[in-house]
Structure 1
Amino acid sequence: MGADPRRYGHGRTARGAAVLACAAVLAGCASMPDSGDVSPVKASKPGDSQVRVYPVPPRENAEPGEIVEGFLEAMTGDDPGFETARKYLTKQAARTWNPEERTTVLSAVPVPQQAETRRPGRGAQPAEDQSLVYPLSGQKVATVDNRHAYQPLDPVPYSESIRLVQQRGADGKSKEWRIDRLPQGLVISESDFQRNYRSVNKYYFAAGKSWVVADPVYIRKRQDPVTRMDALTQTVKALLEGPTNWLKPVVDSRFPTGTDLKKDVTSLSTDDQNTLKVPLNNKADGVGREQCRYMAAQILFTVGDLGSTRVQQVELQRSDGRELCVLGEDQKSDFMADRTTGIRENPYFVDSAGKLAQLQTGAKDVVEPRHVFGPFGDGAAKVEKVAVARDEQHAAAVSENGRSLRVASVVSDAELPEPLVTSKGPRPDDRLSAPSWDGRGDLWVADRDPADPKLLLLSGGSGEPRPVITPWLTDGVRIEGLRVSEDGVRIALLLKEDGRTTLQMGRVERQGTGDRQKVSVVDLQPVAPRMESVASVSWAGPSRLVVLGKPAGGVQQVRYIQTDGSTSAAVIPGLNQVKAVAAANDERASLVALADDAIVRLQGGTNWQPVVEKGTSPVYPG
């Protein structure tokens, strides 16, 4: 993102927002200086995360353009209740404006155009002898709804307006320009959004299951202007409000309906034992011990992602302050789809002879790869595409020019099994995709046969493949690749249509049980709408993807993207001639990639290092 241009060309006097930059790392500003001048500068100063914005109220007899500009600046501020921003509004508009309704994110600060003068119609109040309408324009790149959910957009024109009227001043005689009609919510630039907000994961349980699912949302980095809550308390409150609308059909919250923080709680903190005590209202007073453990797990996972707050255990409290239950960090594995402890740092790949091998990337020095046991490692089947089960006991391999899918052990010798899926596609590219395992032990693969394209699910990685309901898989749409999340309720899809391959996130819905269960992938959401094309994707954490793609007008790059489509702050060094990337669900593991027919790894975020001269299909379990 480049620097924001000068906002307005209306001869604006230096007003709007006073900005205080702190030198202290991460601590932010403790207070305003009590001497010296406050320098009026632009609120949206990209790259300065320590900038705090203190909006300036309208000056007496301010010109209409100043009112508009000052209000737009004040929306980026941190003052409680947006009190300063409301001073630019009429009394009625100040009462009805709801900044929490939504946030509209523009690529740059909104630009007001030349005002249009409008005469009053019949029945107008005497004070409304005329009004001024300022059209606002820009490029909309994202929205955040009232549930804190981020939605990226392929940049589209933004066009709204602000209307000003004159009202009596404080002396009861003079007239002051004020805004009486405006867009609901906040309208801010992308740089202001990044300065004011941060991404956090809330956690809920997969519907009917005992493992958690990440639900990314955006909260204020510092105190929320409306609730006056700090970041930790905002996050817990957002969790109690329930999942985002997109995820809601496939997850459960174990908190009773109506559960909230105890009245007037605006700050939560850990004690000297790193215990976070959470006082709840009376809706949770009657829950049993087991349900309380699940409730505490949701909070423990949620606050564990904040980074700045070290929480080793959570204590939930009744409305009278008595303990409901306590859950420690050592019990988190009880609530994961993959309960294997320890870091999985050794990915797999297919060598130049078509044999499946495991890389030893955890070692300081490059170690010779080890072929797996069974038919995929001994050459009985020439492996082309592969997915290793999350327990690392079996693998699913596509062979015979994309025609056949087999599942076999990778920890013991065995005969080559019969294919579980066979494609009739006329060309290799029209046959089977690379498969993917979810945390339930189910196996997914796409058959790209133009005559009968379908997404298939093999329960437990065996048995008869069942077609998945895919209402979006219409003529002209082709599945290039897929990766299912560990929790099994989200699937990342590479879809090709009209010559462009895009990254979409689908919601996995299940109805019924056993052989009668119907599985659907619905409500696809774009994850990287500003990328011209996407070539490879892999899960890199509970709500993060590593993506190989080409931004519009740019060059191919590897980058992290959140599952809600927002860009991760983590930077990946450049790499040439990349064909595929792979990451582990554990964010501590190395990235691996296929670059110019070699397998390379990125360890510690420094530089890519070659590990295998010839190979293909680098993958982590899943």
Structure 2
Amino acid sequence: MTGSPRALAAALLLAVLSLVSCSTVPTSSPTVQITQAPARVVDAVGIEPLPPEPGASPEGIVRDFIDAAASTVRRHPVARQYLAPQVRESWSDDGISVIGTDIALVTTDEGAVTLTANLIGTVDTRGVFTVAERGVVTRDFRLEQVDGEWRITNPPEGLIMLEPDFRRLYDPVNAYFLDPTEQRMVPDPRYLIRGESQPTALVERLIEGASAPLAAGVRNPLSGVQLTRAVTVEGQTATVELSGLPPEPSPRLAQISAQLVWNLQQLDQPRISSVVVLLDGEPVTPGGVPRLQTVEDWASFSPDIVPVDGVGHYIEAGSLRTLPGGEPAPGPAGTGVYGLGSAAIAADTGTGRLSFLTGVRTDPGGATLLAGQYGGELTPVLGAGTLSAPTVAGTRTEAWVVRNGSEVVRVPAGGPPQPVAAPTLPGLGRAEVLQLSPDGVRAAVVVDGQDGRRLHVGTVVRSDEDGSVVLRDLRNVTPTLAQVIDVAWADSGTLLVLAGDEGEDRIVPYSVRVDGWGLTPVSTSGLPGQPTSLGVAPTRQPLVSAEDSIWQLVGGTWVTLVRGAEPLPGTAPFYPL
């Protein structure tokens, strides 16, 4: 395993930022509805809205009411001033609809205004974002005159907020939970309002548990624990006071400590570098960690650990090759004897050494999955008419494929193939690509259905009772992308996608959070043609195949694997996990 978690996170962030050519959600995206539990913020933070102007028109009142949503003051008192007295106190501001900046306000009758805007998505009271289906939102406002001034009589439940205001006021953070093997933190994206209450709000979210789509696939050490007072921050040290644990909670206490440290250390306002955990008023130091715990003390729980020798691999004329110089991989697979068209490699979870190799060979009669020891001989383990490229995760030595576009199958190292139930897949279409997240808790699936090739993300749920595995709740996370051809995990919470550019007839890369927020085009500078497949892993440079050659992204430009040399021929790049 490589590097400290903070160094890994910083390197990954740098890599992702280098990909970005712009950082806005497309205005053609659907609207976002966001709800959040009552904030602890009492005083205004940043730019606060203005009260109604005397003599404002109905359209002006509606427009300024939307602007007044951009406030951090509890109960949004300025926004309430735009409402008629009979609804002013009863109006609930618990939800937010985030809309694009291209809005239209039209007076349809005296005291009636219709709002039309792009809908981006929804965020619930726990800060969980759900991307909306592509389209627009229409909202009819009714107004009446109160003492000669127009006021709204039918305000929507929750706030309507412009996307730039949402970005300004809310920080994207991760609520980290544990994968079922209890090896890694699994990110559950949340959006928390900025301010000093953020550490407390995040810990409260952890205690409440994971979001509905993810909850069945993760474990929460903080379940049932009570936060006895607000999280305090002095300097860069946060103190978390808990109760409700049994007298001898190990190893759970170690997991709780790791969970709190990994969550709080990501916050910037205030900046937190160490955490003190108090249980019933006494500091805890599980496993001999210092009283001031840091992420380095719990580095083994990093969500984005990669194998030390996990260099990039790709396929050339059926043979498995390695970066940077295109050398043959060890063993028969590197000679081309198996005629592979795609492959995946899993590392041993204990040693981190590359151990399990799977590859797909396609012949006129169908496709075959081969598996075996990395560097050793491979044997056929599964046949089908078609097989997707294999995929692995960093927490288990097993590979997954899709057989004949409809059946998900997993192949444990040294074991027979086993079916994976995917109850929501048949209604979507034919699965062309499947990629497990590094932690193995999620799967990204490219499905060819009625509306084209779409990207869905589902949760992997494993039963402790009978060992069955289910891929649940597949949901479209990029509704504005219709021509998706490939996907890979840049890290445990970020996807890279190859998809059609709506403005031009070409395939380009995109970056997007696993919940669908922040869809961002990635630079194509330097590429000789359209990319056809991609490979990426945490802290690793993204790879693509374009014009049957391999390219890597460095500093926002795609370059050859060896600087100054000709591009190496190849396809289907990937990194071991």
- Give the TM-score of the pair, scaled to structure 1: 0.76
- The equivalent residue for 1:213 is 186
Deviations 1:598-619 (A, max 9, x none): 1111134444334442111100
Give the counterpart letter for 1:351 in structure 2: E
CA apart distance, 1:216: 0.8
Task: Provide the secondary structure at the position in 2 that maps to 1:85.
Answer: helix
Distance 1:307-1:379 versus aligned 2 partners, 3 A rule:
farther
Alignment counterpart, residue 313 of structure 1, candidates 259, 274, 287: 274
1:269 aligns with 2:233: yes
- The equivalent residue for 1:348 is 313
Distance 1:379-1:285 versus aligned 2 partners, 3 A rule:
closer
Alignment counterpart, residue 58 of structure 1, candidates 42, 52, 56: 52
Alignment counterpart, residue 400 of structure 2, candidates 444, 447, 450: 444
Deviations 1:268-309 (A, max 9, x none): 4353xx5432234x4459673532221121122223434676
Deviates more, 1:495-504 or 1:202-211: 202-211
1:405 aligns with 2:384: no
- The equivalent residue for 2:502 is 552
1:139 aligns with 2:112: no
CA apart distance, 1:110: 4.3
Tell me the distance in 1 between the aligned counterparts of 2:25 and 2:274.
42
8 Å Cα contact 2:207-2:223 kept in structure 1: no
Deviates more, 1:141-150 or 1:229-238: 229-238
Deviations 1:492-542 (A, max 9, x none): 0011113711110011122245xx422111211112110121111111111
- The equivalent residue for 2:153 is 180
Alignment counterpart, residue 579 of structure 1, candidates 515, 532, 543: 532
CA apart distance, 1:90: 3.5
Tell me the distance in 1 between the aligned counterparts of 2:344 and 2:77.
55
Alignment counterpart, residue 327 of structure 2, candidates 344, 353, 370: 370
- The equivalent residue for 1:323 is 283
- The equivalent residue for 1:292 is 253
Provide the aligned length of Structure 1 versus Structure 2.
519
8 Å Cα contact 2:442-2:460 kept in structure 1: yes
8 Å Cα contact 1:548-1:559 kept in structure 2: yes
Give the counterpart letter for 1:529 in structure 2: P
Give the counterpart letter for 1:539 in structure 2: W
Tell me the distance in 1 between the aligned counterparts of 2:359 and 2:319.
10
- The equivalent residue for 1:481 is 433
- The equivalent residue for 2:128 is 149
Tell me the distance in 1 between the aligned counterparts of 2:239 and 2:346.
38
Alignment counterpart, residue 480 of structure 2, candidates 508, 530, 535: 530
CA apart distance, 1:482: 0.7
8 Å Cα contact 1:535-1:548 kept in structure 2: yes
Tell me the distance in 1 between the aligned counterparts of 2:336 and 2:439.
33
Tell me the distance in 1 between the aligned counterparts of 2:337 and 2:312.
21
Alignment counterpart, residue 501 of structure 1, candidates 448, 453, 456: 453
- The equivalent residue for 1:25 is none
Q: Give 1:101-116 correspondences, 5 Å limit.
A: 102-108=95-101, 110-116=103-109
Task: Provide the secondary structure at the position in 1 that maps to 2:226.
Answer: coil
8 Å Cα contact 2:304-2:491 kept in structure 1: no
Task: Provide the secondary structure at the position in 1 that maps to 2:415.
Answer: coil
Tell me the distance in 2 between the aligned counterparts of 1:252 and 1:115.
52
- The equivalent residue for 2:471 is 521
CA apart distance, 1:103: 2.2
Q: Greater relative contact order: 1 or 2 (C-alpha under 8 angstroms, separation 6 or more)?
A: 2
CA apart distance, 1:470: 1.8
CA apart distance, 1:338: 7.6
CA apart distance, 1:313: 3.3
Q: Percent identity?
A: 26
- The equivalent residue for 2:338 is 381
Distance 1:258-1:159 versus aligned 2 partners, 3 A rule:
farther
Tell me the distance in 2 between the aligned counterparts of 1:462 and 1:615.
29
Distance 1:296-1:92 versus aligned 2 partners, 3 A rule:
farther
Give the counterpart letter for 1:302 in structure 2: N
Alignment counterpart, residue 393 of structure 1, candidates 352, 355, 371: 355
Task: Provide the secondary structure at the position in 2 that maps to 1:67.
Answer: helix
Aligned residues: CA RMSD: 3.1
Give the counterpart letter for 2:295 in structure 1: E
Task: Provide the secondary structure at the position in 2 that maps to 1:389.
Answer: strand
Deviations 1:154-189 (A, max 9, x none): 32231222233344xxxxxx4544323211112123
CA apart distance, 1:407: 1.1
Tell me the distance in 1 between the aligned counterparts of 2:331 and 2:233.
52
Tell me the distance in 1 between the aligned counterparts of 2:53 and 2:427.
61
8 Å Cα contact 1:457-1:468 kept in structure 2: yes
8 Å Cα contact 1:200-1:218 kept in structure 2: yes
Unmatched runs of 5 consecutive residues or more in structure 2: 1-23, 28-42, 286-290, 349-353
CA apart distance, 1:567: 1.7
Deviations 1:166-214 (A, max 9, x none): 44xxxxxx45443232111121233332233232111011246343211
Alignment counterpart, residue 298 of structure 2, candidates 332, 335, 339: 332
Deviations 1:356-402 (A, max 9, x none): 12103xxxxxxx23322222113331211101113422210111436
Task: Provide the secondary structure at the position in 1 that maps to 2:483.
Answer: strand
8 Å Cα contact 1:110-1:188 kept in structure 2: no
Give the counterpart letter for 2:486 in structure 1: S
Tell me the distance in 1 between the aligned counterparts of 2:303 and 2:77.
46
Tell me the distance in 2 between the aligned counterparts of 1:589 and 1:310.
27
Distance 1:210-1:388 versus aligned 2 partners, 3 A rule:
closer
Larger CA Rg, structure 1 vs 2: 1
Unmatched runs of 5 consecutive residues or more in structure 1: 5-30, 33-50, 118-131, 168-173, 224-228, 361-367, 426-430
